Structure 1
Amino acid sequence: MAEKGTGAQGVTALAEANAPVFETLVQMTLDTFERSGLDEETYLLARIAALVALDASAPSYLLNIGTAAEAGVPLEKIQGTLVAIAPVVGSARVVSAARSIGEAFELDISTQDE
């Protein structure tokens, strides 16, 4: 099985591929961070919160949570972000996010009901 790139490594790999769409996404992300005026941790947590609100796919979580981990954002802060936004986005979005995160990082999050 091919090794997956995560976080910044994954973004770098996408940018180095001859893939103009991914190059554009990487550049947009870099530009947005610089203009946001946020520190790196807050910026990454805000992005993760937005992914939950949008019911994002597993690869989106892989890149963003991987980047957060590489930047030293503690798992507890990511979990805290999910808890903080649950009343706004709803439990269904948070559960869907947990499944996508589990899928992205190949975690077994099955329940007894399954």
Structure 2
Amino acid sequence: MATASETPVLDTIAAMTLDSVERCHMDDRTLILARLAALVAMDAPAISYLAHMSPAIKADFTVEQLQDLLVAIAPVVGTARVMSAAGHITEAFGVTLALAESEAEAMAQAEADSRKAS
């Protein structure tokens, strides 16, 4: 029997993602591009892109490369989905940056508190 969790949906999605990554033989950049293209095709909400922003940043994707992805798939998925995706990606990227900034501020504050205690 499965262990009870306070976040069963997120835990399930995380487990599915991990299993997928372990079974996939694509390099990180290709995997991210494939997943982002699939999200665009599905007209996924911004929160769906959020899980892919940090890996995209770690894989050194630039804004221009993400724009190139949207340009490449526009004839297949359509302009409405591409424009929707551009907004969702921008929103998810903004949240990712805000979280990173908040984390950096918390680390700086902890370091400052540690120095004061010394």
TM-score by length of 2: 0.68
Q: What are the ranges of 5 or more consecutive residues in structure 1 without an aligned counterpart? A: 1-16, 108-114
1:52 aligns with 2:52: no
1:70 aligns with 2:58: yes
* Contact 1:69/1:75 (8 A) holds in 2: no
Residues of 2 paired with 1:106 and 1:40: CA distance?
22
1:25 aligns with 2:16: no
Percent of aligned pairs sharing the same letter: 53
1:75 Cα deviation after fit: 2.7
- Return the letter of the residue paired with 2:48: S
* Contact 2:41/2:77 (8 A) holds in 1: yes
Residues of 1 paired with 2:10 and 2:48: CA distance?
12
Residues of 2 paired with 1:42 and 1:59: CA distance?
21
- Return the letter of the residue paired with 1:73: F
- Return the letter of the residue paired with 2:56: A
Residues of 2 paired with 1:38 and 1:104: CA distance?
24
SS of 1:38 mapped into structure 2: coil
Q: What are the ranges of 5 or more consecutive residues in structure 2 without an aligned counterpart? A: 96-118
**Measured at CA, do residues 88 and 35 of structure 1 come closer, stay the same or move farther in structure 2, by a change above 3 Å?**
same
1:82 Cα deviation after fit: 0.9
Higher normalized helix content (fraction of residues): 2
CA RMSD, aligned part only? 1.9
Which structure has the bigger radius of gyration?
Answer: 2
TM-score by length of 1: 0.70
**Measured at CA, do residues 105 and 53 of structure 1 come closer, stay the same or move farther in structure 2, by a change above 3 Å?**
same
> Deviations along 1:45-96, whole A, 9 cap, x unmatched?
1100000000000111122123211232333222211111001001110001
1:36 aligns with 2:21: no
